[in-house]
Amino acid sequence: MSRICEITGKAMIVGNKVSHSNIKTKRRFYPNLQVKKFYIPEEDAWITLKVSAAGIRTISKKGISAALKDARDKGFISF
């Protein structure tokens, strides 16, 4: 499994680590991913998602059903 949020699509980005002497070396910035279980009352089922902190906020704002519908439309999840 890759390090991609299943709700927002956030993924790793690449940047530079800059030392005190201003030497630049490549590094990776990973999203703040959490594995969480969510209850879907319409289906009476629990699902496990790998979501970022921003994805958790989106789910609590829109609701799990609307967030899953948007993620399916954008192609982040496929179930």
pTM of the predicted structure, to 2 decimals:
0.84
31 assigned to some structural domain = yes
For residue 2, the model assigns a pLDDT of 86
- Band of pLDDT at residue 78, cut at 50, 70 and 90: confident
- pLDDT greater than 90 at residue 79: no
Stronger pLDDT, 25 or 79, i.e. the higher one: 25
58 assigned to some structural domain = yes
Count of beta carbons in the 10 Å neighbourhood of residue 34: 13
Split into its structural domains, the chain has a count of 1
Q: Which residue segment(s) compose the domain that 34 sits in?
A: 13-74
CATH classification of the domain holding 21:
2.30.170.40
8 assigned to some structural domain = no
pLDDT digits (tens, 9 = 90+) for 8-47: 999 999 999 999 999 999 999 999 999 999 999 999 999 9
